[in-house]
Structure formats: structure tokens, C-alpha cells
Amino acid sequence: MNVKVLLIACITLTSGVAGASAAQTPLDQHPRVRDSFYAIGLADQIRRNCPQIQPRLVRAYTFIKSLERWALNSGYTEADVDALTDNKAARSALEAEIARDLAARGATPGNAAGYCKVGREEIARGTRAGSFLKGN
């Protein structure tokens, strides 16, 4: 499985939505979806920048599929889910938010130790992001 494709799909699932009923929260704004893909994006940045931490790809993929099933069971359509992958602006905004949060915690570009520290904290605290990571 291509890690990049999986993680791009994860992050883009929080992007714009078309077709959700007026009574429903747009999928990209639903707290469950947004929080979930923030965690996946955070884990992705940690594993990309800390050589001592590896991704749990099967766990992440399984989680993504369960979130997709949840969306469909909650009344969102395949078109709603598919529309999320096309919003590059929303994906960029999420990535920028993650970068700001990481920087505030000492993880800045070129500082692998900072990313490793944040990754170990996420794993130790048992956060959603931590569940997608494993340390060596």
C-alpha cells in the first residue's frame, strides 16, 4: 500500500463537501471527521520527520474505512465523501494548522528530535494520533 496515497486520502477527507442535506453539518465541518483527520495528519507529519517512529498503516486504513462507513450510515452520500478529496485549500489549511501546533510543541522543520518528542508524547498519552504510530 502506498503510504503517500493513503495519507493524502486521509487528509483530504476533511476537505469541502457537496450534496449534504441542509439539515446536516457539512462533512468537512463535522467534529468527528475533522478531529479524526487532524489526528491522521499529525501522525503523518510525525512519522515523516522522526526516523524512530513508524506508521501503523493497517490501523490508519481500517480507521479511515470505519469513518467512511460512519459517514454513509449517518446520511452522507458517496458524492459527499468523494467531494472531500477535491478541496486542496481545505487540505492546505489543515496541514498549516498541524504545522503551527507542532511548532508550538517544539517540532519544527529540520528538528527530528522535536518530532520524535511529540510522537512519543502522543503514543504515551494514547491519543488518536498516537494510535497510528509506533516507536522503535
pLDDT tens for 108-125 read: 999 999 999 999 999 999
| Domain presence at residue 108 | yes
| Domain presence at residue 20 | no
Q: How far is CA 68 from CA 79, 96, 108, in A?
A: 12, 24, 32
pLDDT of residue 99: 97
- Number of separate domains in the chain: 1
* Cα 122 from Cα 131, distance rounded (Å): 8
pLDDT tens digits, 92-111: 889 999 999 999 999 999 99
pLDDT band, very low/low/confident/very high, at 81 (cuts 50, 70, 90): confident
| Domain presence at residue 50 | yes
| Domain presence at residue 22 | no
pLDDT band, very low/low/confident/very high, at 136 (cuts 50, 70, 90): confident
| Domain presence at residue 10 | yes
What's the whole-number mean pLDDT along residues 34-63?
A: 95
Domain residues for 122? 3-15+28-135
| Domain presence at residue 33 | yes
